[in-house]
Homo-oligomer: A and B are copies of this chain.
Amino acid sequence: MYLEKINGPEDVKKLSVEQMEILADEMRDALMNKLSVCGGHCSSNLGIVELTIALHCVFSSPIDKIVFDVSHQSYSHKMLTGRNLSYLIPEEYDKVSGYTNPVESQHDIFNIGHTSTSLSLASGLVKARDLAGEQYNVIAVIGDGAIGGGEALEALSLASELKSNFIIVLNDNNMAISENCGGLYNNLEELRSSKGKSTFNMFKSFGLDYVYVHDGNNIQSLIETLNEVKDIGHPIVVHVSTKKGKGFKMAEDNSERWHARKPFDMTTGKDLVDRGVNYQMITYDYLLNKSKKDPRLAVVVSGTPSVLALNKDKREALGSHYVEVGVAEEHAVAMISGLAKNGARPVYAVYSSFVQRCYDQIAQDICINNSPATFLVFSASIYGNNDITHLGIFDIPMMSNIPNLVYMAPTCKEEYFAMLDWAISQEKYPVGIRVPCGQMILKEKDFSCDFSDVNKFEVVEKGKDVAIIGLGNFYAIAEKVSEILAKQGVNATLINPRFVTAIDEELLESLKAEHRLVVTIEDCVLNGGFGEKIARFYGDSDMKVKCYGYKKEFLDLFMPQEVLERNGITVENISNYILSKLK
């Protein structure tokens, strides 16, 4: 066993290439053992094991600085930089996050979870080094579809301006999460098949030096090339062809399915827990059905097939209605504006944490142009994702304050589809839907009203003294609070606001007559959010307003329930507050 003795990169350097090859096998075993229990990113980590060993053999981190793009492929790096036990000992599995993390190690320079930023971040390290007159290597490791993201292309074009040491390692495994899209990837294929010799070479077109490594899972070959580029005095692209999923048969055969997994059975590859039907799946079914009736429907996805539970068959079933743009959220949003303006009915499915990658396109290309496109924002909830870079609790302040956009928050499955029906059928507004998240709520109620009277809240129960406004996912909490209050003899008004982007001033005004307190509950940060708009509306009146939501902070690896409690968002706490206030 070598892995258990690797306390840092200096221990890697002591090994012979043969020993490193054994180490690579051990690392794959450790990786899959841990992933089968904890879940996480499989394919990309399997493919990059040898490259990571070679990097730590040739370069001297943390003096030399290595930046991993998106960093979900940094598990090998963590194993070699003092965190081996977190992959070997089940009790220590939860000691490390799934991304590079400066809190864990000086070998991790940034917290990164969104793609295509590594070259820009590393460009900053390069420039700072040069200003300080220092000498060491700066290495960015990019792959997995990230190179097609606009920011990475900006940085690639600008790299040649730096004129000093900057090593761009392109880990090219011929795959993004799903298939790659775009001419750029055809160029990579040409370069792979010509062993780097093709006349067409986008890197050389950008004025960059270039070297190719054909067998990117061969440690000897990698070490030789990296030694050649070490301490180089100008930017260079090291194009490394690796095999995604390498060493784990099922992942080699279907790297898309094995991109990221929940806990699985090592032998069969099946999920250990059946997660049942989710909003991703039923949204896909809805859109497939819609596509058969409406030739104008266009379903746009940007690099994250899981957002609609897609696989190859499902993509093919959508046919020409399906548009996958890869990691190119900005392009996706401007494109749906063009689609909408030209008579199509575009629906863009995107995770909350990535919709923030296109604020400017939402504002200018969609909202100023008032293009009737539909955004489906998934995982927008404390229940969405608990990695610091993938939080789903910032979309309301980000989106809801942009004029013209109608952002809606359904409270259950039926209302979600009613809103989706309306959004796709109308041609007046850009619409976003905050797709419900967490346990699926079903209601027998008929929601097939139209929503064209935008920003009209729904009064579900009429009461007095206190009105409780429960937004989207947290309408359920408002409902429960209302039930508790009823038992205490308080007949609360219960409101489903349905819309996040504006307030129903007429209704709020009318509440003044028989209410003294309005309580808002939202599944998002409070700052810049929904409740604050209501607090401002009542600001100089006698109405008291209390807003429940999250404190503005970056959370990481948290338990949702604990965050709810810390922010007072429990049925008990809210009920008690209201009762004490009404006394």
Kindly report which residue of chain B lies nearest to residue A126, judged by CB atoms: B338
Q: How far is the CA of A111 from the CA of B404 in the complex (A)?
A: 14
User: What are the 6 A-B residue pairs with the smallest beta carbon separation, nearest first?
Assistant: A124-B338, A150-B150, A183-B207, A120-B334, A128-B342, A401-B528
* CB<8 Å pairs between A and B, sample of 27: A102-B369, A110-B337, A111-B364, A120-B330, A121-B334, A123-B331, A124-B337, A125-B342, A128-B340, A128-B342, A148-B154, A150-B151, A150-B154, A151-B334, A158-B325, A186-B207, A187-B205, A200-B205, A202-B205, A359-B360, A363-B394, A368-B388, A394-B401, A400-B527, A401-B552, A531-B536, A541-B544
* A389 lies within 8 A of chain B by Cβ: yes
Q: Contacts of A202 on B, CB cut-off 8 Å?
A: 202, 205-206
Beta-carbon contact of A157 and B128 below 8 Å: no
Beta-carbon contact of B554 and A110 below 8 Å: no
Beta-carbon contact of A554 and B206 below 8 Å: no
Beta-carbon contact of B128 and A296 below 8 Å: yes
Q: Contacts of A323 on B, CB cut-off 8 Å?
A: 127
Q: Contacts of A398 on B, CB cut-off 8 Å?
A: 359, 398, 401
Q: How far is the CA of A498 from the CA of B330 in the complex (A)?
A: 34
Is chain A's binding surface mostly helix, strand, loop or mixed?
helix
Beta-carbon contact of A368 and B528 below 8 Å: no
Beta-carbon contact of B154 and A120 below 8 Å: no
Beta-carbon contact of B401 and A397 below 8 Å: yes
Of A38-46, A129-137, A309-317, which stretch is located at the interface? Answer: A129-137
* A155 lies within 8 A of chain B by Cβ: yes
Given A111-B364, A400-B527, 5 other A-B residues pairs in contact with their CB atoms under 8 A: A114-B360, A149-B154, A155-B334, A157-B185, A184-B205
Q: How many chain copies?
A: 2
Q: How far is the CA of A321 from the CA of B112 in the complex (A)?
A: 27
Contact of A363 among B109, B130, B207, B356 (CB under 8 A): B356
Contact of A160 among B149, B182, B339 (CB under 8 A): B182
Interface residues of A in 327-382 (CB under 8 A from B): 328, 330-344, 346, 354, 356-357, 359-361, 363-365, 367-369
Q: How far is the CA of A341 from the CA of B187 in the complex (A)?
A: 34
Kindly report which residue of chain B lies nearest to residue A554, judged by CB atoms: B403
Which interface residue of A325, A333, A539 has the most chain B CB atoms within 10 A?
A539
Given contacts A205-B205, A400-B528, A529-B528, contact A183 B157 (CB under 8 A): yes
* A113 lies within 8 A of chain B by Cβ: yes
Q: Contacts of A517 on B, CB cut-off 8 Å?
A: 540
Q: How far is the CA of A127 from the CA of B295 in the complex (A)?
A: 12
Kindly report which residue of chain B lies nearest to residue A151, judged by CB atoms: B330
Beta-carbon contact of A131 and B187 below 8 Å: no
Q: Contacts of A200 on B, CB cut-off 8 Å?
A: 201, 204-205
* A142 lies within 8 A of chain B by Cβ: no
* A23 lies within 8 A of chain B by Cβ: no
Q: How far is the CA of A400 from the CA of B535 in the complex (A)?
A: 18
Beta-carbon contact of B154 and A328 below 8 Å: yes
* A13 lies within 8 A of chain B by Cβ: no
Given contacts A110-B365, A183-B159, A331-B123, contact A527 B150 (CB under 8 A): no
Give the Cβ gap from A205 to chain B, nearest Cβ, in Å: 4
Q: Contacts of A79 on B, CB cut-off 8 Å?
A: none
Q: How far is the CA of A471 from the CA of B493 in the complex (A)?
A: 37
Q: How far is the CA of A354 from the CA of B361 in the complex (A)?
A: 11
* A533 lies within 8 A of chain B by Cβ: yes
* A545 lies within 8 A of chain B by Cβ: yes
Q: How far is the CA of A119 from the CA of B183 in the complex (A)?
A: 14
Q: Contacts of A539 on B, CB cut-off 8 Å?
A: 535, 538, 544-547
* A581 lies within 8 A of chain B by Cβ: yes
Q: Contacts of A301 on B, CB cut-off 8 Å?
A: none
Kindly report which residue of chain B lies nearest to residue A581, judged by CB atoms: B540
Give the Cβ gap from A126 to chain B, nearest Cβ, in Å: 8
Interface residues of A in 151-210 (CB under 8 A from B): 151-161, 181-187, 199-202, 204-208
Given contacts A158-B326, A201-B200, A540-B581, contact A364 B117 (CB under 8 A): yes
